[in-house]
Structure 1
Amino acid sequence: MSAAAVLGWLVLAALAPGAAHLRAGWRKTGLILLGCYAAGLLALLAVRLSTDNLLGDLTQDSWLTGITAGAVVLGVAWFALIVHSFIVLRPGSLPQAGQVLVGTFAGLLAVVVVLPFGMVTSYVWTSRETLNNIFVNEGTPDPDPQAEQTTARPEDPWAGRTRVNILLIGGDADDNRIGVRTDSMNVATVDVKTGNTVLVSLPRNLENVRFRPGTPMAQHFPNGFRLPPDPGGGRSDLLNSVWEYADAHPEIFGGKQHQGPKVLMDTIGYTLGLKVDWYALVNMWGFARLIDAIGGVTLTVEQDVVFGRYNEGLVKAGTRKLKGADAMWYARSRTYSDDFTRMRRQRCVIGALLDQADPATVLTRFNRIAGATKELIRTDIPRPMLKHLVPLALQVKNAKVTSIQFVPPLISTVSPDWAKIRAITDKAIRDSAGGRPTAATASPESTPKSTKSPSAKKKESDPTKTLTEGCGSL
């Protein structure tokens, strides 16, 4: 057998275990190896066909442990296979130069075939560590008392919910600060069947916030969240201070510590007329590291955005790929701007990430993304719920995503119309669930007559937008 033939059979053996053994006359061994290989492929196919929620299952500890063990065993087995295939092909009968060539190639091939299994082991281990660091390992979803329990089935993972409501918070937690200042607050309300989503944004400077009747905060602030002005004239009783205030005053809750997340979830849910199921707090500068991990995000900056204590920073206007820091300053800066413009820019960044974080990018940059994510997210979502939330998140990516921003002139942040906020939220959700174009009237109050067409009036009175509406135009 020539050196070229030996090389060819070694490559074939790496792809079809047992091929080299059959060529070398080890018929029984070759057939056993090929049979085991075929059985393994059929078993993988059977698992895929019998599992409706493969990606969800892959978030579970038992699956991750099994995949890790399997990858290690298969990696060792494939290495041994190449070595033994090399031996049975009797390279000793080749000239010395051929032996050196074939031996070197066999060694490299043995290492190469192990690499995919090593990558799988690394990815799975990283995934497991990341999930354990971020998500609560115990707990199951609480049934929604407002849900139609007659439709709930014992196997229903949503416990009768028709929608899942998750509070997405952009915060700037600091080691030197008690509590968290929540500068960006959005509720993603997701239809569990279709994935259609409404992203509801509340401004950080919402005043006179009301708390759900009967709660400790409502008893402490019966007329709304109101504190004396700060010495500098600022206010510490806006919506973005609720978490921080609750954490700093455990006496309100009978001495219970760390009530900030629960209080903010309940407060925002009461404001919108929803039951917020879970929250996810995103550290804003951790978010910048995530953007860097995926290689940046392409955005259209409509006009120059100035930032920095001395206005020394600048994100120039134009369409280009921004690094994490620039993307965050684009989303966060209020210099020569206001909170409401900033809320729109934050929505644009979220929309761009949803569009651009494709599976190929996530796979090729997996370890960097996982590392950034560990520093990025704090949440109370139970680990077992990931099995169901992962496929739902994939549905959202391809479903209809609309947004509402409760900013002036739609509402007054100083004296909000709470009934109007709930009515608009309810209508947007109902329209999203029905698959119809969303349209929510801003107010029943009379308005001056206009010569504009009815369609133009409807557009002006409609606060519901697609996620990227208003983004990307210079």
Structure 2
Amino acid sequence: MTSKPVGTRAVLGWTLLSAVAPGAAHLRAGWRRTGLTLLSLYAAALLGLLLVVLSADGDLLGLLTSNAWLTGITIAAVLLGAAWFALIVHSFVVLKPSRLPQGGQILTGVLAGLIAVAVIVPFGFVTRLVSISQKTLDRVFDAAPAPVPAEGAPEDPWAGRTRVNLLLLGGDADDHRPGVRTDSVNLASIDVRTGNTVLLSLPRNLEHVRFPPGTPMATRFPDGFRLPVGPGGGRDDLLFGIWEYADAHPELFGGKTKQGAKTLMEAVGYTLGLKIDWYALVNMWGFARLIDAIGGITLTVEQDVVFGKYNEGLVKAGTRRLKGADAMWYARSRTFSDDFTRMRRQRCVLGALLGQADPATVLTRFDRIALATKELVRTDIPRPMLEHLVPLALKVKSARVTSVQFVPPLIRTGDPDWDRIRSITAKAVADSAARAPLAATATPSPSPGDTKKPDDLARPKGLGEGCA
């Protein structure tokens, strides 16, 4: 293993080359067997990684959310970083820098040390991202175990479900407003085979909401959720007030506290005739941070949207990229508007976020998204189910997403026809189960002044329909 002496520039060059082509310095130093082995292992690893990337699917991405895989990635990153560091040091040593003049030895030693440190930075970055991801997921998702299939039944992460029903809520709680008010109430019913999804939207001001027979709230309100009018003439006995009321009255639940989420799930499920599996509550102002984390969303604001206590704010009409705060004001403002128009705007924001938060954006901004998500979401989805929900979410992105909004004249919010709501829901879900996509239409979502017949309004619409 002899070789000709190497000069200062050559030592630095071959050491640097070894950072991207392990074994190169060993070949130059005459360590042919070691050099060829290192290069072969490196080429095989690159080829394997390329095959994984090209064949990666939702199932793999789902696995990457599990604690076992995240821990494995952390360990692998630490070991690989240490190995790469040792490789650079050894590559430098086999080039025999001791033969150089003293100045060359000092220069090459310092620069080789910097190269050795630099190669471990990416591994440290990966370790940091994985750590943030793991802590965020553990904080957001419930620690409860995933559903277990019956004994003798085939392995099925959905425990026999053909659809998963997720209650998606938007709340506006903040430091100056105690309690949880659910200003946005949507249920996503997802076909676990195809990803076809129906988004069912209920108005926040739905009155006389009923509860499943036998539940504490049904016993307390046998004729529907109704309370005396407040001192200022406002009402808190609408759909948006159920969570807060249940949380504030633990005596109805035998002293159990924090029953708001469960109670609202029961009410919405009973209203639609569906069993809700889990809920996810998004703080609407935390949502603004999430939108900022992905770099904003592009929306067409069809007309100026005024907001603020004194109408001092304005989201101007036009197509442009909105930051989080403007997107939220566009979605939530009721100035010169109504709840039903606001529901449509919220749906437009949700559709834009779903369509524009592509995997590349999520990966490149993952650090910021994870940090924004930490204070954003509250959910009872079991942590182990996440590895199955991730591939399902990817199916949804390329599947058929339709929506039904239960607004006038389809229903009357003050005196809802509960049987009609359930029959419309059942038909929308049945239509979603068909694999063939619905014919595209340009029909906008209904508004209070819409002249279309109620049957036309009940027909499921694409999530982006009605958004300019």
| TM-score of the alignment, normalized to the shorter chain, above 0.5 | yes
Q: Aligned pair 1:68/2:64, yes or no?
A: no
* CA contact 1:405–1:463 (8 Å) conserved in 2: no
What CA distance in whole angstroms lies between the structure 2 residues aligned with 1:178 and 1:254? 23
Q: Aligned pair 1:15/2:20, yes or no?
A: yes
After TM superposition, list the pairs within 5 Å mapping 1:319-358 onto structure 2.
319-358=319-358
What CA distance in whole angstroms lies between the structure 2 residues aligned with 1:437 and 1:191? 13
What CA distance in whole angstroms lies between the structure 1 residues aligned with 2:26 and 2:148? 58
* CA contact 1:20–1:85 (8 Å) conserved in 2: yes
Letter in 2 for 1:74: L
What CA distance in whole angstroms lies between the structure 2 residues aligned with 1:4 and 1:468? 60
Indicate the residue corresponding to 1:468 in structure 2.
Answer: 464
Give the CA deviation at 1:119.
1.3
What CA distance in whole angstroms lies between the structure 2 residues aligned with 1:176 and 1:253? 27
What CA distance in whole angstroms lies between the structure 2 residues aligned with 1:153 and 1:178? 46
What CA distance in whole angstroms lies between the structure 2 residues aligned with 1:217 and 1:461? 31
After TM superposition, list the pairs within 5 Å mapping 1:273-288 onto structure 2.
273-288=273-288
Letter in 2 for 1:251: E
Indicate the residue corresponding to 1:313 in structure 2.
Answer: 313
After TM superposition, list the pairs within 5 Å mapping 1:317-466 onto structure 2.
317-436=317-436, 460-466=456-462
What SS does the aligned partner of 2:142 have? coil
What CA distance in whole angstroms lies between the structure 2 residues aligned with 1:459 and 1:220? 34
* Residues 48-90 of structure 1, C-alpha deviations (whole Å, 9 max, x = no match): 8799822111111111111111111211211121122112112
* CA contact 1:178–1:247 (8 Å) conserved in 2: no
What CA distance in whole angstroms lies between the structure 2 residues aligned with 1:341 and 1:300? 15
What SS does the aligned partner of 1:279 have? strand
* Residues 168-221 of structure 1, C-alpha deviations (whole Å, 9 max, x = no match): 000012356553110000001101011111111000000011111111111111
What CA distance in whole angstroms lies between the structure 2 residues aligned with 1:142 and 1:200? 28
After TM superposition, list the pairs within 5 Å mapping 1:43-442 onto structure 2.
53-94=59-100, 102-103=108-109, 105-141=111-147, 153-175=153-175, 179-436=179-436
Indicate the residue corresponding to 2:442 in structure 1.
Answer: none
What SS does the aligned partner of 1:53 have? helix
What CA distance in whole angstroms lies between the structure 2 residues aligned with 1:165 and 1:52? 20
* Residues 259-305 of structure 1, C-alpha deviations (whole Å, 9 max, x = no match): 10001011101101100000000001110011111111111111111
* CA contact 2:410–2:454 (8 Å) conserved in 1: no
What CA distance in whole angstroms lies between the structure 2 residues aligned with 1:95 and 1:189? 73
What SS does the aligned partner of 1:319 have? strand
* CA contact 2:132–2:367 (8 Å) conserved in 1: yes
Letter in 1 for 2:88: I
Give the CA deviation at 1:92.
4.3
Stretch of structure 1 that moved more, 278-287 or 73-82: 73-82
* Residues 287-336 of structure 1, C-alpha deviations (whole Å, 9 max, x = no match): 00111111111111111111111111111111111111111000000000
Letter in 2 for 1:353: L
* CA contact 1:178–1:248 (8 Å) conserved in 2: no
Letter in 2 for 1:80: A
Stretch of structure 1 that moved more, 277-286 or 44-53: 44-53
* Residues 371-419 of structure 1, C-alpha deviations (whole Å, 9 max, x = no match): 1000100000000000100111111111111111100111100001111
Give the CA deviation at 1:116.
1.5
**Aligned residue pairs: how many?**
451
Letter in 2 for 1:374: K
Q: 1:253 to 1:370 in 2, by over 3 A?
A: same
Q: 1:63 to 1:287 in 2, by over 3 A?
A: same
Q: Percent identity?
A: 71
What CA distance in whole angstroms lies between the structure 2 residues aligned with 1:273 and 1:407? 17
Give the CA deviation at 1:42.
7.6
Letter in 2 for 1:432: S
What SS does the aligned partner of 2:117 have? helix
What CA distance in whole angstroms lies between the structure 1 residues aligned with 2:148 and 2:271? 21
Supply the RMSD in Å over aligned alpha carbons: 2.8
* CA contact 1:17–1:33 (8 Å) conserved in 2: yes
What CA distance in whole angstroms lies between the structure 2 residues aligned with 1:41 and 1:429? 45
Q: 1:212 to 1:304 in 2, by over 3 A?
A: same
Stretch of structure 1 that moved more, 297-306 or 45-54: 45-54
Letter in 2 for 1:471: C
What SS does the aligned partner of 2:330 have? helix
Stretch of structure 1 that moved more, 22-31 or 178-187: 22-31
Letter in 1 for 2:362: V
What CA distance in whole angstroms lies between the structure 2 residues aligned with 1:437 and 1:362? 27
Give the CA deviation at 1:32.
5.0
* Residues 425-464 of structure 1, C-alpha deviations (whole Å, 9 max, x = no match): 111111111034559xxxxxxxxxxxx9xxx979944542
What CA distance in whole angstroms lies between the structure 1 residues aligned with 2:77 and 2:11? 27
Letter in 2 for 1:88: V
Letter in 2 for 1:53: D
* Residues 119-160 of structure 1, C-alpha deviations (whole Å, 9 max, x = no match): 1101100100100110112222378xxxxx99x943000011
**What stretches of structure 2 of length at least 5 have no aligned partner?**
1-5, 440-450
What CA distance in whole angstroms lies between the structure 2 residues aligned with 1:437 and 1:391? 20
Indicate the residue corresponding to 1:449 in structure 2.
Answer: none
Give the CA deviation at 1:26.
2.6
Give the CA deviation at 1:19.
2.7
What CA distance in whole angstroms lies between the structure 1 residues aligned with 2:178 and 2:232? 20
What SS does the aligned partner of 1:432 have? helix
Give the CA deviation at 1:21.
1.4
* CA contact 1:21–1:29 (8 Å) conserved in 2: yes
